[in-house]
Amino acid sequence: MEYSNGNVFQLVVKQGEPTLVPPAEETEKGLYFLSNLDQNIAVIVRTIYCFKSEEKGNENAGEVIKNALKKVLVHYYPLAGRLTISSEAKLIINCTGEGAVFVEAEANCALEEIGDITKPDPDTLGKLVYDIPGAKNILEMPPLVAQVTKFTCGGFALGLCMNHCMFDGIGAMEFVNSWGETARGLPLCVPPFIDRSILKARNPPKIEYPHQEFAEIKDKSSTNDLYKDEMLYSSFCFDSEMLEKIKMKAMEDGVLGKCTTFEGLSAFVWRARTKALKMLPDQQTKLLFAVDGRPKFKPPLPKGYFGNGIVLTNSMCQAGELLDRPLSHAVGLVQDAIKMVTDSYMRSAMDYFEATRVRPSLASTLLITTWSRLSFYTTDFGWGEPVLSGPVALPEKEVILFLSHGKERKSINVLLGLPALAMKTFQEMIQI
C-alpha cells in the first residue's frame, strides 16, 4: 500500500509466544478417519477476519477468543489432534487432545491502514497468521492455528491457518460461527456431525465414470514458460449489472434455457484466461470446480457434517473450440459438469482415489473456488460481524477465487494471479 507522499507502508506485527489450547473437557482419543474427499485437498488455507466495534475495545479480545476455543474444541475435538499417516498410507487424525496453537500479537497501526484485504497480499496479510517455524510439511502443522492481532485503533484481526482436509468452506464456516456463538455464551446453532465413515469407499472400489479431473494434460502451448515472468495478483469486481450482461450475452443466441451467475461468470473467466495464456487452438484445457455434494448424496449428508462434502467436477475442451464458439457453448460445458455430479458419480470419484491414490491434476487447468456463497461475514465473537474478511493468498497459480462483495453481497470479486503480460490481456478480455 502506498501513501500519497510515496512512502510504502510497512505493517509491523509483534507476535507473542505460541501456546497450546486443548479442549476444556476430556475428549475422545485414538485415530479419527478422514474420507477420500478429505485426502484429495490437504492444503493449508489461511483466512483473516477483521473486527472493530464502536462499543468496545480490543483489550480482552485474545482472552475471549482463546477461552471460547477451549469450549468449542470439546465439540470439534479432532481439531485438537495431529495429522499422521495411517496403516493404509493415508492421512488420518491422531486425537491426542494436545490442542490448537494460539498466538496473540500486536500491530503498529490502525486496522484501516492495512488497506484492501479483499485482494490477496501474502506479504502484508501473511503477518496476521502464524506459521509454524520450520514446518516442512503438513504433518508438522497442527490442523488449526489461530492468531489474534490487536491494532492501535481498538480493532483486531483473527488469522486462521487450517488444513482443508479438516473441512471445506461450508464446514469451516460452521466451525468459525460455532466458535463465535460460544464466545457470546450461546449454544451451537449447528452442532457438528463428527462421523466421517459414512463416506467410506466401497469394497471393492467401483469406478463408473471416466474421471477426467485426474487427467494429466500435455502442455503443448509451453504455458509454463510464461509463468517464469513476474506474477501479478489482481482482483476484479463484477457488479450485478456486469453479471447480468454476462448472462444476457450467454443467452442471446437462444441455445440455453437458463444461465446462473456462477455458470456465466465461470465460462467467461475460463475463456478470458485461456486467451490470456496464449493457449494453442489444439491445446486441451480443463476447468475444475467444486460442487457441494451434501444435498446430492443419497441419503443427503447430515446437517453439520464435519468434513469435506465437496466433489470436484470438470469440463475439458480444446482452447480453439472454447474461444471460437460463442459464450453459450462454454456455459453449456459448465452446466454439463454440474449435472454430472450425482450420488453415483461422487462415490465413483471416492473409489477412483481408493484404487489409484492419484490427486486431481492442475496441468493446463483452471480451478475455480467459490466463496461467494459462504456467509463468513456473519461470524460474531461479541464485537459484531467482521468489517472485512478474506484469504491471505491463492493456494496455487491455477486457482481463481470468487468472493462475494459489497453490503448487499450482489457483486463478486474475482481474484487471480497471472504472469504480467497475460494479466494485461485478461484485463482487456473481461471488458463487457
Lookup: cell for 191: 452442532
240 and 359 within one domain: yes
Residue 329 lies in a domain: yes
Residue 381 lies in a domain: no
Alpha helices by DSSP H, listed for 184-318, are: 223-226, 240-251, 261-276
133 and 55 within one domain: yes
Burial class for 284, CB neighbours closer than 10 Å (0-12, 13-18, 19+): buried
Residue 347 lies in a domain: yes
Given a contact cutoff of 8 angstroms between Cβ atoms, the answer to whether 269 and 155 are in contact is no
The CA distance from 271 to 209, in Å, is 26
Residue 270 lies in a domain: yes
Q: Point out the catalytic residue in the list 75, 164, 329, 405.
A: 164
Question: Which pLDDT value is given to residue 4?
Answer: 31
Q: Give which of 18, 384, 387 is closest to 183, Cα–Cα.
A: 384
* Residue numbers of the chain with a pLDDT score lower than 70: 1-9, 117-120, 372-373, 375-376, 406-408
251 and 163 within one domain: no
176 and 121 within one domain: yes
257 and 320 within one domain: yes
228 and 303 within one domain: yes
Of 194, 225, 247, which one is at a domain's C-terminal end? 194
Q: What is the pTM of this model?
A: 0.91
State the Rg of the chain over Cα. 22
Q: How many angstroms separate the Cα of 191 from the Cα of each of 18, 99, 176, 178, 209? A: 28, 19, 12, 8, 35
149 and 85 within one domain: yes
Place of cell 451451537: 188
Amino acid at 175: F
Amino acid at 415: L
Question: Which pLDDT value is given to residue 363?
Answer: 87
289 and 223 within one domain: yes
The CA distance from 39 to 80, in Å, is 19
Residue 62 lies in a domain: yes
Residue range 36-67, pLDDT digits in tens: 999 988 889 999 999 999 999 999 999 999 99
Amino acid at 231: M
**Quick one: angle between helices 327-339 and 240-251, nearest 10?**
90
Amino acid at 227: Y
Q: Residue 159 has what DSSP assignment?
A: E
Given a contact cutoff of 8 angstroms between Cβ atoms, the answer to whether 43 and 110 are in contact is no
The CA distance from 431 to 105, in Å, is 42
60 and 87 within one domain: yes
Q: Give which of 368, 342, 304 is closest to 167, Cα–Cα.
A: 304
Place of cell 471393492: 204
83 and 177 within one domain: yes
Residue 61 lies in a domain: yes
**Quick one: angle between helices 261-276 and 420-429, nearest 10?**
130
48 and 178 within one domain: yes
Question: Which pLDDT value is given to residue 408?
Answer: 65
| Strand residue runs (E) in 293-426 | 310-318, 365-370, 388-391, 399-405, 411-419
Concatenate the DSSP letters of all residues of 30-90 into one string.
Answer: EEE---HHHHTT--EEEEEEEE--SS--STTHHHHHHHHHHHHHHHTGGGGSEEEE-TTSS
Residue 121 lies in a domain: yes
The CA distance from 354 to 201, in Å, is 7
* Torsion angle (degrees, nearest 10) of CA 114, 120, 122, 128: 50
The CA distance from 73 to 94, in Å, is 15
The CA distance from 178 to 24, in Å, is 15
413 and 309 within one domain: yes
Given a contact cutoff of 8 angstroms between Cβ atoms, the answer to whether 234 and 425 are in contact is no
Q: How many angstroms separate the Cα of 384 from the Cα of each of 65, 152, 159, 403, 407? A: 14, 18, 17, 21, 15
User: From the DSSP assignment, how many helices (H) and strands (E) are in the chain?
Assistant: 11, 16
In the residue annotation, 75 being an active-site residue is answered as no
Q: How many angstroms separate the Cα of 136 from the Cα of each of 53, 125, 159, 275? A: 38, 21, 21, 36
Of 194, 225, 255, which one is at a domain's C-terminal end? 194
The CA distance from 12 to 110, in Å, is 11
Of 165, 194, 223, which one is at a domain's C-terminal end? 194
Domain that holds residue 121: 13-194
Q: Give which of 276, 324, 302, 297 is closest to 426, Cα–Cα.
A: 276
Q: Point out the catalytic residue in the list 219, 239, 292, 380.
A: 380
Strands 365-370 and 399-405, sheet pairing: parallel
Question: Which pLDDT value is given to residue 194?
Answer: 97
Count how many domains the chain has.
2
Given a contact cutoff of 8 angstroms between Cβ atoms, the answer to whether 352 and 211 are in contact is yes
CATH number of the domain within which 324 lies: 3.30.559.10
3-class state of residue 101 by DSSP: strand
Residue 419 lies in a domain: yes
In the residue annotation, 380 being an active-site residue is answered as yes
